[in-house]
Amino acid sequence: MTDRYAVFGNPISHSKSPLIHAEFARQTGQELVYEAIEAPMDDFRGAVLAFRDAGGRGANVTVPFKEQAYLLAGERSERADAAGAVNTLTFADGEIWGDNTDGAGLVNDLLNNLDFDPAGQRILLLGAGGAARGVGLPLMEREPAELFVANRTAYKARELSARFDCYGGGFEALEGRRFDLVINATAASLAGDLPPLPEDIFMRGALAYDMMYGRDTPFLAFARAHGARTADGLGMLVEQAAEAFAIWRGVRPQTAPVIAMLRNA
Protein backbone atom coordinates (compact mmCIF):
# COMPACT_ATOMS: atom_id res chain seq x y z
CA MET A 1 0.00 0.00 0.00
CA THR A 2 1.09 3.57 -0.69
CA ASP A 3 2.21 5.36 2.47
CA ARG A 4 -0.37 7.83 3.77
CA TYR A 5 0.20 11.20 5.42
CA ALA A 6 -2.14 14.06 6.27
CA VAL A 7 -2.49 17.49 7.80
CA PHE A 8 -5.07 17.99 10.55
CA GLY A 9 -6.69 21.33 11.33
CA ASN A 10 -10.02 23.11 11.62
CA PRO A 11 -10.64 24.71 9.20
CA ILE A 12 -8.28 23.01 6.75
CA SER A 13 -9.61 23.48 3.21
CA HIS A 14 -7.24 26.42 2.65
CA SER A 15 -4.11 24.36 3.46
CA LYS A 16 -1.28 24.32 0.93
CA SER A 17 0.33 21.32 2.62
CA PRO A 18 -1.09 18.67 0.24
CA LEU A 19 0.25 20.59 -2.76
CA ILE A 20 3.64 21.12 -1.10
CA HIS A 21 4.10 17.49 -0.12
CA ALA A 22 2.89 16.22 -3.48
CA GLU A 23 5.61 18.32 -5.10
CA PHE A 24 8.20 17.07 -2.60
CA ALA A 25 7.20 13.47 -3.39
CA ARG A 26 7.40 14.06 -7.14
CA GLN A 27 10.76 15.75 -6.78
CA THR A 28 12.31 12.98 -4.65
CA GLY A 29 10.61 9.98 -6.27
CA GLN A 30 8.79 9.01 -3.08
CA GLU A 31 5.57 7.00 -3.27
CA LEU A 32 3.04 8.55 -0.90
CA VAL A 33 -0.31 10.27 -0.66
CA TYR A 34 -0.97 13.33 1.50
CA GLU A 35 -4.42 14.64 2.34
CA ALA A 36 -6.06 17.38 4.39
CA ILE A 37 -8.36 16.24 7.20
CA GLU A 38 -10.65 18.54 9.15
CA ALA A 39 -10.68 17.15 12.68
CA PRO A 40 -13.72 17.80 14.89
CA MET A 41 -13.06 20.55 17.41
CA ASP A 42 -14.04 18.16 20.21
CA ASP A 43 -12.24 15.03 19.00
CA PHE A 44 -8.83 15.75 17.51
CA ARG A 45 -7.37 12.73 19.30
CA GLY A 46 -9.97 10.39 17.84
CA ALA A 47 -9.44 11.69 14.31
CA VAL A 48 -5.66 11.23 14.50
CA LEU A 49 -5.86 7.77 16.02
CA ALA A 50 -8.39 6.66 13.39
CA PHE A 51 -6.01 7.86 10.67
CA ARG A 52 -3.08 6.05 12.29
CA ASP A 53 -5.08 2.84 12.76
CA ALA A 54 -6.10 2.95 9.08
CA GLY A 55 -2.41 2.86 8.10
CA GLY A 56 -1.32 6.49 8.36
CA ARG A 57 2.44 6.90 8.72
CA GLY A 58 2.59 10.49 9.92
CA ALA A 59 0.73 13.77 10.14
CA ASN A 60 1.17 17.50 10.29
CA VAL A 61 -0.94 19.51 12.70
CA THR A 62 -2.04 23.11 12.35
CA VAL A 63 -4.29 25.46 14.32
CA PRO A 64 -6.01 24.94 16.65
CA PHE A 65 -4.61 21.53 17.53
CA LYS A 66 -0.86 21.92 18.09
CA GLU A 67 -1.14 21.88 21.88
CA GLN A 68 -3.42 18.83 21.75
CA ALA A 69 -0.90 17.12 19.46
CA TYR A 70 1.77 17.81 22.07
CA LEU A 71 -0.29 15.98 24.68
CA LEU A 72 -1.05 13.12 22.28
CA ALA A 73 2.62 12.39 21.53
CA GLY A 74 4.14 9.77 23.80
CA GLU A 75 7.66 10.95 22.99
CA ARG A 76 8.69 14.43 21.89
CA SER A 77 11.74 16.26 20.58
CA GLU A 78 13.55 18.94 22.57
CA ARG A 79 12.21 21.65 20.26
CA ALA A 80 8.66 20.37 20.71
CA ASP A 81 9.09 20.49 24.49
CA ALA A 82 10.50 24.01 24.24
CA ALA A 83 7.50 25.12 22.18
CA GLY A 84 4.91 23.23 24.21
CA ALA A 85 3.36 22.37 20.85
CA VAL A 86 3.70 19.74 18.12
CA ASN A 87 3.13 20.20 14.39
CA THR A 88 4.62 16.90 13.16
CA LEU A 89 3.56 13.42 14.29
CA THR A 90 5.24 10.15 13.33
CA PHE A 91 3.53 6.80 13.89
CA ALA A 92 5.81 3.78 14.31
CA ASP A 93 5.66 0.53 16.28
CA GLY A 94 2.51 1.62 18.07
CA GLU A 95 4.15 4.80 19.35
CA ILE A 96 3.44 8.44 18.52
CA TRP A 97 6.47 10.71 18.28
CA GLY A 98 6.01 14.48 18.19
CA ASP A 99 8.22 17.23 16.82
CA ASN A 100 7.91 20.91 16.07
CA THR A 101 9.43 22.00 12.75
CA ASP A 102 8.21 25.61 12.77
CA GLY A 103 11.40 27.11 14.18
CA ALA A 104 13.61 25.09 11.85
CA GLY A 105 11.40 26.27 9.01
CA LEU A 106 11.93 29.90 9.96
CA VAL A 107 15.69 29.56 10.41
CA ASN A 108 16.10 27.64 7.15
CA ASP A 109 14.08 30.28 5.31
CA LEU A 110 16.33 32.99 6.72
CA LEU A 111 19.54 31.11 5.90
CA ASN A 112 18.68 29.48 2.57
CA ASN A 113 16.26 31.89 0.91
CA LEU A 114 16.83 35.30 2.46
CA ASP A 115 20.61 35.29 2.95
CA PHE A 116 20.23 36.25 6.61
CA ASP A 117 22.09 34.44 9.38
CA PRO A 118 20.66 35.16 12.86
CA ALA A 119 24.07 34.45 14.42
CA GLY A 120 25.40 37.56 16.14
CA GLN A 121 22.32 39.62 15.22
CA ARG A 122 19.92 41.58 17.43
CA ILE A 123 16.51 39.97 17.04
CA LEU A 124 13.08 41.18 18.12
CA LEU A 125 10.32 38.58 18.34
CA LEU A 126 6.84 40.13 18.47
CA GLY A 127 4.24 38.04 20.28
CA ALA A 128 4.23 35.45 23.05
CA GLY A 129 1.73 32.90 21.75
CA GLY A 130 2.19 29.56 20.06
CA ALA A 131 3.82 30.97 16.92
CA ALA A 132 6.50 32.70 18.98
CA ARG A 133 7.03 29.69 21.26
CA GLY A 134 7.69 27.50 18.23
CA VAL A 135 10.65 29.52 16.99
CA GLY A 136 12.41 30.63 20.16
CA LEU A 137 14.74 27.67 20.68
CA PRO A 138 15.92 27.36 17.05
CA LEU A 139 16.63 31.10 16.99
CA MET A 140 18.63 30.91 20.22
CA GLU A 141 20.58 27.94 18.86
CA ARG A 142 21.96 30.27 16.17
CA GLU A 143 23.54 32.32 19.01
CA PRO A 144 22.19 35.80 18.23
CA ALA A 145 23.70 38.78 20.00
CA GLU A 146 20.27 39.38 21.52
CA LEU A 147 16.76 37.95 21.38
CA PHE A 148 14.08 40.20 22.82
CA VAL A 149 10.45 39.04 23.12
CA ALA A 150 7.86 41.84 23.11
CA ASN A 151 4.14 41.45 23.74
CA ARG A 152 1.18 43.64 24.65
CA THR A 153 0.90 41.69 27.90
CA ALA A 154 4.37 42.15 29.36
CA TYR A 155 4.29 39.25 31.81
CA LYS A 156 3.62 36.80 28.96
CA ALA A 157 6.68 38.12 27.15
CA ARG A 158 8.78 37.72 30.29
CA GLU A 159 7.49 34.17 30.83
CA LEU A 160 8.41 33.21 27.28
CA SER A 161 11.80 34.91 27.43
CA ALA A 162 12.59 33.03 30.65
CA ARG A 163 11.90 29.76 28.79
CA PHE A 164 14.55 30.63 26.19
CA ASP A 165 16.97 32.43 28.53
CA CYS A 166 16.65 35.75 26.70
CA TYR A 167 14.98 39.10 27.37
CA GLY A 168 11.37 40.21 27.22
CA GLY A 169 8.82 42.87 28.11
CA GLY A 170 5.96 45.01 26.91
CA PHE A 171 6.01 47.10 23.74
CA GLU A 172 6.87 50.16 25.82
CA ALA A 173 10.24 48.51 26.58
CA LEU A 174 11.20 48.88 22.90
CA GLU A 175 11.81 52.63 23.12
CA GLY A 176 15.46 53.31 22.30
CA ARG A 177 16.12 49.76 21.07
CA ARG A 178 17.02 48.86 17.47
CA PHE A 179 17.17 45.45 15.84
CA ASP A 180 18.66 43.70 12.81
CA LEU A 181 15.74 41.27 12.50
CA VAL A 182 12.15 41.91 13.58
CA ILE A 183 9.80 38.91 13.41
CA ASN A 184 6.06 39.43 13.66
CA ALA A 185 4.56 36.36 15.34
CA THR A 186 1.47 38.20 16.62
CA ALA A 187 -2.08 37.79 15.36
CA ALA A 188 -2.18 41.48 14.44
CA SER A 189 -1.74 40.81 10.72
CA LEU A 190 -4.82 38.56 10.71
CA ALA A 191 -6.87 41.53 11.88
CA GLY A 192 -5.11 44.02 9.60
CA ASP A 193 -3.49 45.72 12.58
CA LEU A 194 0.05 46.88 13.33
CA PRO A 195 1.85 46.18 16.60
CA PRO A 196 2.77 49.45 18.37
CA LEU A 197 6.39 49.76 17.24
CA PRO A 198 8.73 52.76 17.51
CA GLU A 199 9.54 54.23 14.11
CA ASP A 200 13.29 53.80 14.69
CA ILE A 201 13.09 50.11 15.63
CA PHE A 202 15.01 48.93 12.53
CA MET A 203 18.77 49.00 12.23
CA ARG A 204 20.19 50.02 8.88
CA GLY A 205 19.78 47.06 6.51
CA ALA A 206 17.37 45.28 8.89
CA LEU A 207 15.03 42.50 7.81
CA ALA A 208 11.34 42.57 8.79
CA TYR A 209 9.72 39.12 8.70
CA ASP A 210 5.97 38.51 8.99
CA MET A 211 4.90 34.91 9.62
CA MET A 212 1.68 35.70 7.77
CA TYR A 213 1.85 35.02 4.03
CA GLY A 214 -0.31 35.72 1.02
CA ARG A 215 -0.99 39.38 1.76
CA ASP A 216 0.84 42.66 2.23
CA THR A 217 0.38 43.27 5.95
CA PRO A 218 0.48 46.60 7.82
CA PHE A 219 3.66 45.37 9.52
CA LEU A 220 5.43 44.84 6.20
CA ALA A 221 4.22 48.21 4.88
CA PHE A 222 5.48 49.91 8.06
CA ALA A 223 8.85 48.19 7.74
CA ARG A 224 9.30 49.22 4.10
CA ALA A 225 8.37 52.80 4.94
CA HIS A 226 11.14 52.83 7.53
CA GLY A 227 13.90 51.40 5.38
CA ALA A 228 13.80 47.67 6.17
CA ARG A 229 13.73 44.89 3.62
CA THR A 230 10.77 42.58 4.07
CA ALA A 231 9.71 38.94 3.79
CA ASP A 232 6.49 37.07 4.45
CA GLY A 233 6.08 33.58 5.90
CA LEU A 234 5.64 31.58 2.70
CA GLY A 235 9.22 30.37 2.80
CA MET A 236 8.79 29.31 6.42
CA LEU A 237 5.68 27.32 5.45
CA VAL A 238 7.59 25.39 2.79
CA GLU A 239 10.73 24.95 4.89
CA GLN A 240 8.87 23.57 7.91
CA ALA A 241 7.12 21.14 5.56
CA ALA A 242 10.50 20.06 4.14
CA GLU A 243 11.75 19.42 7.67
CA ALA A 244 8.74 17.18 8.34
CA PHE A 245 9.21 15.40 5.00
CA ALA A 246 12.85 14.69 5.88
CA ILE A 247 11.81 13.28 9.26
CA TRP A 248 9.32 10.93 7.65
CA ARG A 249 11.15 9.92 4.46
CA GLY A 250 14.83 10.37 5.26
CA VAL A 251 15.42 12.64 2.26
CA ARG A 252 15.35 16.44 2.15
CA PRO A 253 13.58 17.99 -0.85
CA GLN A 254 14.62 21.20 -2.55
CA THR A 255 12.47 24.06 -1.32
CA ALA A 256 13.28 26.93 -3.67
CA PRO A 257 11.32 25.50 -6.64
CA VAL A 258 8.28 24.90 -4.45
CA ILE A 259 8.39 28.42 -2.99
CA ALA A 260 8.63 29.82 -6.54
CA MET A 261 5.73 27.64 -7.67
CA LEU A 262 3.50 28.90 -4.86
CA ARG A 263 4.44 32.53 -5.45
CA ASN A 264 3.66 32.22 -9.13
CA ALA A 265 0.34 30.60 -8.34
pLDDT in tens, the chain (265 residues): 799 999 999 999 999 999 999 999 999 999 999 999 999 999 999 999 999 999 999 999 999 999 999 999 999 999 999 999 999 999 999 899 999 999 999 999 999 999 999 999 999 999 999 899 999 999 999 999 999 999 999 999 999 999 999 999 999 999 999 999 999 999 888 788 999 999 999 999 999 999 999 889 999 999 999 999 999 999 999 999 999 999 999 999 999 999 999 999 8
CA gap 236, 247 in Å, rounded? 17
Q: What is the pLDDT of residue 203?
A: 98
217 plus 110 within the same structural domain: yes
42 annotated ligand binder: no
211 annotated ligand binder: yes
| Beta-bridge partners for 202 | 179
- Please report, to the nearest 10 degrees, the dihedral formed by the alpha carbons of residues 223, 217, 41, 22 taken in order: -90
94 plus 129 within the same structural domain: no
116 plus 228 within the same structural domain: yes
CB 232 within 8 A of CB 210: yes
88 plus 110 within the same structural domain: no
Report pLDDT digits (tens) over 117-171: 999 999 999 999 989 999 999 999 999 999 999 999 999 999 999 999 999 999 9
114 plus 201 within the same structural domain: yes
62 annotated ligand binder: yes
Average pLDDT value over all residues in the chain:
96
CB 9 within 8 A of CB 63: yes
Pairing of strands 122-126, 75-76: unpaired
83 plus 109 within the same structural domain: no
Q: How many domains does the chain have?
A: 2
92 annotated ligand binder: no
118 plus 209 within the same structural domain: yes
Other Cβ atoms within 10 Å of 93 Cβ, number:
5
Which residues are designated catalytic?
66
40 plus 135 within the same structural domain: no
Structural domain range at position 32 = 3-100+236-264
17 annotated ligand binder: yes
163 annotated ligand binder: no
- Model-level pTM greater than 0.75? yes
CB 209 within 8 A of CB 229: no
